[in-house]
Structure 1
Amino acid sequence: MKYTMALAALAAFTAFSPAQAEVTSKGDPAKAQQLVTSVCAACHGADGNSMAPANPSLAGQHAEYITKQLMNFKSGERKNAIMQGIVSSNNLTPDDMKNLGAYFAAQTPKPGSAKNKALALEGEKIFKGGNASSGVPACAACHGPTGAGIPVQFPRLASQHSEYILSQLNNFRTGERANDGGKMMRIIAAKLTDQEMKAVAEYISGLH
């Protein structure tokens, strides 16, 4: 049953949007250096390893995913007052966004560690096997068993701050975040309990 659910989830969610297809061309990490120093480093770290749990670490994230998020902030498809303001006030161009994606993708992520081991064990079960009774597919079906994700389609999650993961799951659940292809994360988040969200987020924070 778990295996079938994982395959079904993967088959249903592997299609990616036209916006994602537009960001597959390569950026130049060197050209992003000035922007990183002046704009990004304060929240995400110069090397993409954020020290603040509320701000996502970007080191090692897929370039296409980062670029797509920046494009979505600029278009308003993804809502966040701070990021929308940063993208707009600095007038980031499509090339800037591709360059930033390439820069952070090239950085080395620092391994995280789950703080609550018991909670992480609960999360591991959902991440690897889903919840058949509520129709929640295994997170690993799309994000990989180690949380590495799949370039273009699905983001890297490994070692991401648990607080950030939890906030995004809640945003998907409420619809505040709605830039997921085919509403896949909104559908999944709506089926997760508060406890399951916390457990999955904790487990992800310790993945390497």
Structure 2
Amino acid sequence: MKRFSHLIALASVALSMSGVAHAQSKPDLAAGAAKAAVCMACHTADGSRGLAANPILQGQHPEYLVKQLTEFKEGKRKNAVMNGMAAPLSTQDMIDIAAFFASKKPVPGQARDAESVKQGESIWRGGIAKKGVPACAGCHSPNGAGIPSQYPRLGGQHYDYTKAQLVAFRQGERTNNAQMTAIAANLSDKEIHALADYIAGLR
């Protein structure tokens, strides 16, 4: 699959993050599907558009998913449910689960607030110079597809989830990305709303 041309590199990235010295793990989609069964209650059978409070995982970059699972396991990212779910996972489990969800084609979402979507687009594409907020598109790409192994796909993500994460970064409740903490610190409630809604409709 085209999406997995970079997955061999994923193994070494994930292993280095977890401190494991072995080098040659490869993703197993079939194993990932089986291991992801416990994830499906919250993230649906293919990581698609389930409850708005839970992130959409389908089509997400596998490197990003492994990084988040690793940080949940290590306690660098706090979430009572996910800390517990990630705790028993091995690095290979994470690689397999990430590969399974990443293999699913993203389903487009939709913005819902026509009045604020233009503001969201302005911030996404141009940032807010007077606040030192950079353009989101610089890291997450103009269409929200992100950059594999560096920045996650955001396009089509649930409004509720994106808003909650931006607020958590701003309030210092989510601490596993210093860059996002610094950016969100300069966003108002109105700007977060506009961004989250615009992101929901990106494709």
Into which bin does the TM-score normalised by the smaller protein fall? 0.7 to 0.9
Partners in 2 of 1:46 and 1:120 — Cα distance?
30
CA contact (8 A) 2:14 2:95 kept: no
Q: Could you say which residue in structure 1 is the equivalent of 2:77?
A: 78
CA contact (8 A) 2:13 2:63 kept: no
1:109–1:132 Cα change, 3 Å: same
Pick from 162, 165, 169: which aligns with 1:165? 162
Structure 1 residue 22, shift from structure 2 partner: 3.0
CA contact (8 A) 1:61 1:156 kept: yes
Identity percentage of aligned residues = 49
Q: Could you say which residue in structure 1 is the equivalent of 2:4?
A: none
1:170–1:29 Cα change, 3 Å: same
What's the C-alpha RMSD, in Å, of the aligned pairs? 1.7
Amino acid at match of 1:76: G
CA contact (8 A) 1:48 1:109 kept: no
1:199–1:67 Cα change, 3 Å: same
The TM-score with structure 2 as length reference comes to: 0.87
The TM-score with structure 1 as length reference comes to: 0.85
Q: Does 1:108 align with 2:105?
A: yes
Q: Could you say which residue in structure 2 is the equivalent of 1:95?
A: 92
1:114–1:198 Cα change, 3 Å: same
Structure 1 residue 111, shift from structure 2 partner: 0.5
Pick from 22, 39, 47: which aligns with 2:16? 22
CA contact (8 A) 1:53 1:161 kept: yes
Structure 1 residue 129, shift from structure 2 partner: 0.4
Partners in 2 of 1:64 and 1:200 — Cα distance?
24
Between Structure 1 and Structure 2, how many residues are aligned? 186
Q: Could you say which residue in structure 1 is the equivalent of 2:139?
A: 142
Partners in 1 of 2:35 and 2:106 — Cα distance?
20
